[in-house]
Amino acid sequence: MIDLLKISSETDLYNFHSHTQYCDGRVPMETMLRAAIDEGFLHWGFSPHSPIPIDSPCNMKRVDVEQYLNEIARLRETYGDRIKIYAGMEIDYLSSEWGPHVEYFRELPLDYRIGSVHFIPGGENFVDVDGSPESFMKKMERYFDNDIRHVVNAYYDSLCAMIQSGGFDIVGHLDKIGHNASCFSPGIEDQPWYQKRVNEAIDLVIEKRLIAELNTKAWHTASRIFPKECFIPRLVAAGTPIVVSSDAHYPDRVNAGRREGLALLNA
């Protein structure tokens, strides 16, 4: 395991959340890495969406994991004198039977693990509630009878269960559902019951002494970060370590929103 906190305390020139051609990343890993080098990064972590036991166009296949790790080794050999490269994975929590805590992920030779929730139960399957607002609107009607409170509660139920189950280092975009939920129901994030659910998750992050991610992916498209700015003081006051990552899927977004995120955190 790498010392994420030592890296983030010594320099701002890191990013631990980026995607690859093996999941829904839009370019080969080498193209992404070269963009990171051009941007001046000293530390770069790849974190493809993990394999999951359901069909998903966004997640890597289990058969590709070895090739991913081999590509990490090749890039280290080629670029290791210019940038430190880390093998991470953003691992989806689905249920007590699949998540960062299961033996398969614990045994992978990874430098770190991000635990995230993108799917919630919907009927007889799991539904990705992390896509675009337009896609989310259609899924709300198709799978959830437009019951936004049910969807939000299901998300935070899964998030809290994931935190309790462990097996990861960084909590990924812990209130990500808030963006789509707010597009569906403006003002929902200001409601006491919603804020209670976020704070329940934050309580667990603090209790388990996990690293929280400040995810800047949506800064330039939706003027927001995850977690929402109003929740950051609680994490900081509790001494929760926070890393700032851009969740890059494109090479021109390797540093997207990170400067603004770091400024908010430092403030």
pLDDT < 70: residue spans in the chain? none
Residues in the chain, total:
267
Nearest to 155 by CA among 118, 194, 203, 123: 118
* pLDDT score, position 1: 74
In whole angstroms, what is the distance from residue 225 CA to residue 241 CA? 16
The pTM of this model reads 0.97
Helices within 145-240 (DSSP H only): 148-165, 177-184, 192-208, 219-222, 232-237
Query: What pairing do the DSSP bridges indicate for beta strands 125-128 and 119-122?
Result: antiparallel
* pLDDT score, position 103: 98
First to last CA, the chain: 30
* pLDDT score, position 124: 84
Q: Is 257 helix (H, G, I), strand (E, B) or coil?
A: coil
